């Protein structure tokens, strides 16, 4: 018996009339984005447009909706968003069957980065008002996101010195050739203008001098941070030796070296990005260090920060400062060992937040004997901050909160990088990149809020 198949009629399919109401149910993310934007105060953005005059502009609601939905669904290119207003039903709905060109979308994104940061707060307040966000405990973590800059456009401190020597030699030789040509001692090849060549090399020397000054300033900043960390380790060892009466185990901390390293680099495409170790392999690349603070119950991002520091030692305060005051203050904040320092413990306590910061790496596979280890007596007043924190993490509440960190903030970063597919910034420079990171966090929050609203029967 011959098998029968259902065969499409493409000519008839092309004439098919589709109802967006049928394709996009009330719980669809595109409709949720439009509904949330309708409740936001966009007066600051409208004020900017009113000062421009000119022709009829696209309403900010349309452009914000396209950007929010685009980032939430892994479409970050303004050209692809423009194409989506023709080919994708969700984009077409958000645009109201209008088609802003990619230049308009890109210009809007770049122009209103500060206002987008304000909308991040407004959207969280909408979630709080709906009852899906109750800020209680915070989990913090960071990750590296690729900058819009290539390693091939970077130069090392050592290479700067080598190039300066070569260029100065070339300038000296060109002056000599120019002088000989004036005296008629040599015939210059056709097309060679010594003064033009000298000017070109002097401009390159000026750029190299600027790059050298930036790297030297960075080295000074790094030395100050490393010196403070070295002194803290020294004090900790001295306190241990004083209490135990014997020399502490482990190698003696080595003082940092001042001045730039030969391998310190500056990238000419995005000078504010830095070379950082990749999180998924042993290589290095141009990155920014992004940070999020996540509410442990709702898994919404309530704090967003970004820096060009290669590690997380100085990122606790920026995360805590980024929590909108309107949301309140979390009772506790949990971070992994990359954030540990006595200063970060104090930063939490100053804000009346109980810190739970890991003092060292946990093994991937805990032995069963570790569960039988007794908590022991609480450390005395003379204990080091590290000893006090280690004890605090061994308490029942400490273990509970730290376990939640792994299932709250780490999945959030995983969703942003793997599900939404955000792995590289489109903008350049610290301020612009921070604004784009807020846009990413808004997109994640809208996805998460849509899920929470569905679960609570709010849509």
pLDDT tens column, 88-98: 999 999 999 99
* Structure confidence at residue 365 (pLDDT): 53
DSSP structure class, residue 290: E
Q: Convert 153-187 into a string of H (helix), E (strand) and C (coil).
A: HEEEHHHHHHHHHHHHHHHHHHHHHHHHHHCCCCC
- 66 and 37 in contact (C-beta within 8 Å)? no
* Structure confidence at residue 374 (pLDDT): 55
CA distances from 247 to 230, 243, 252, 359 (A): 17, 10, 10, 21
Model confidence at 318, in pLDDT bands (50, 70, 90)?
A: very high
Residue 152 makes CB contacts below 8 A (sequence gap 6+) with none
* Structure confidence at residue 455 (pLDDT): 95
Nearest CA to 147 out of 319, 316, 249, 275 is that of 275
Res. 269: pLDDT tops 60: yes
Higher pLDDT, 122 or 375: 122
- The Cα 230–Cα 144 span in angstroms is 25
Model confidence at 63, in pLDDT bands (50, 70, 90)?
A: very high
Report the range of poorest mean pLDDT among 62-76, 356-370, 403-417. Answer: 356-370
Res. 459: pLDDT tops 60: yes
Residue 110 makes CB contacts below 8 A (sequence gap 6+) with 427, 432
| Overall average pLDDT of the 378-394 stretch | 86
| Overall average pLDDT of the 164-172 stretch | 93
Mean pLDDT (the chain) is: 90
| Overall average pLDDT of the 77-86 stretch | 97
* Structure confidence at residue 60 (pLDDT): 96
| Overall average pLDDT of the 2-17 stretch | 90
pTM of the model: 0.88
Share of the chain above pLDDT 90, in %: 67
Helix, strand, coil percentages (3-state) for the chain, rounded to 5, are 55, 10, 35
Report pLDDT digits (tens) over 207-242: 999 999 999 998 898 888 888 888 888 887 877 777
- 229 and 177 in contact (C-beta within 8 Å)? no
- The Cα 294–Cα 437 span in angstroms is 15
Model confidence at 294, in pLDDT bands (50, 70, 90)?
A: very high
Burial of 289 (0-12, 13-18, 19+ CB in 10 A): buried
Tokens of 19: 């109802």
| Overall average pLDDT of the 147-156 stretch | 88
* Structure confidence at residue 375 (pLDDT): 59
- The Cα 350–Cα 269 span in angstroms is 39
* Structure confidence at residue 372 (pLDDT): 47
| Overall average pLDDT of the 146-161 stretch | 90
* Structure confidence at residue 371 (pLDDT): 47
- 323 and 330 in contact (C-beta within 8 Å)? yes
> Taking the CB of residue 79, how many other CB atoms lie within 10 A of it?
13
| Overall average pLDDT of the 257-280 stretch | 88
* Structure confidence at residue 103 (pLDDT): 96
Element at 253 (helix H, strand E): none
- The Cα 109–Cα 105 span in angstroms is 6
| Overall average pLDDT of the 81-110 stretch | 96
Model confidence at 1, in pLDDT bands (50, 70, 90)?
A: low
| Overall average pLDDT of the 374-392 stretch | 80
Tokens of 430: 């610290």
Cα 310 versus chain centre, distance: 12
Tokens of 254: 């080595």
Report the range of poorest mean pLDDT among 117-121, 228-232, 259-263, 288-292. Answer: 228-232
Report pLDDT digits (tens) over 359-377: 877 655 555 455 445 556 6
Higher pLDDT, 247 or 68: 68
Dihedral sign, Cα of residue 222, residue 226, residue 229, residue 235? negative
DSSP structure class, residue 382: T
- 334 and 402 in contact (C-beta within 8 Å)? yes
| Overall average pLDDT of the 13-31 stretch | 92
Dihedral sign, Cα of residue 326, residue 309, residue 404, residue 317? negative
- The Cα 431–Cα 316 span in angstroms is 19
Res. 11: pLDDT tops 70: yes
* Structure confidence at residue 291 (pLDDT): 97
Nearest CA to 412 out of 281, 302, 317 is that of 302
């Amino acid at each position: 018996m011959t098998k029968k198949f259902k065969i499409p009629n493409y000519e008839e399919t092309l004439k098919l009339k589709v109802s967006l109401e049928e394709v996009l149910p009330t719980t669809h993310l595109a409709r949720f984005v439009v509904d949330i934007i309708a409740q936001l105060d966009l007066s600051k953005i409208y004020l900017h447009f009113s000062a421009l005059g000119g022709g009829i502009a696209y309403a900010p609601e349309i452009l914000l909706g396209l950007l929010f939905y685009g980032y939430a669904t892994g479409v970050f290119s303004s050209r692809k968003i423009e194409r989506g207003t023709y080919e994708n039903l969700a984009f077409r709905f958000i645009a109201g069957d209008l088609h802003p060109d990619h230049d308009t979308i890109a210009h809007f994104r770049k122009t209103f980065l500060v206002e987008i940061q304000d909308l991040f707060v407004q959207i969280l307040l909408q979630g709080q008002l709906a009852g899906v966000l109750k800020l209680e405990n915070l989990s913090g973590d960071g990750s590296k996101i690729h900058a819009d800059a290539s390693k091939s456009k970077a130069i090392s401190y050592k290479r700067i010195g080598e190039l300066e020597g070569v260029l100065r030699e070339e300038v000296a030789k060109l002056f000599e050739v120019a002088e000989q040509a004036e005296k008629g001692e040599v015939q210059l090849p056709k097309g060679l203008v010594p003064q033009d060549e000298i000017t070109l090399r002097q401009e390159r020397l000026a750029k190299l001098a600027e790059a050298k000054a930036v790297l030297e300033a960075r080295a000074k900043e790094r030395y100050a941070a490393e010196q403070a960390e070295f002194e803290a380790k020294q004090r900790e060892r001295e306190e241990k030796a004083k209490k135990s009466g014997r020399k502490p185990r482990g190698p003696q901390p080595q003082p940092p070296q001042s001045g730039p390293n030969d391998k310190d680099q500056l990238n000419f495409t995005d000078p504010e990005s830095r070379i950082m170790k990749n999180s998924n392999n042993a290589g290095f690349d141009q990155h920014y260090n992004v940070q999020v603070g996540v509410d442990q119950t709702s898994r919404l991002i309530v704090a967003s920060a970004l820096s060009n520091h290669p590690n997380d030692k100085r990122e606790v305060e920026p995360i805590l400062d980024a929590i909108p005051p309107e949301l309140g203050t979390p009772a506790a904040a949990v971070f992994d060992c990359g954030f540990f320092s006595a200063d970060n413990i104090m930063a939490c306590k100053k804000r009346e937040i109980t810190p739970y910061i890991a003092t060292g790496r946990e093994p991937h596979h805990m032995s069963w004997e570790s569960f039988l280890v007794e908590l022991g007596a609480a450390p005395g007043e003379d204990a080091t901050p590290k000893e006090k924190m280690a004890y605090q993490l061994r308490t029942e509440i400490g273990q509970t909160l730290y376990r939640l960190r792994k299932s709250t903030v780490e999945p959030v970063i995983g969703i942003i990088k793997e599900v939404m597919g955000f792995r590289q910034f489109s903008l350049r420079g610290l301020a612009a990149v921070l604004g784009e990171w807020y846009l990413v966090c808004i997109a994640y929050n809208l996805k998460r809020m849509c899920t929470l609203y569905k679960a609570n029967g709010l849509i």
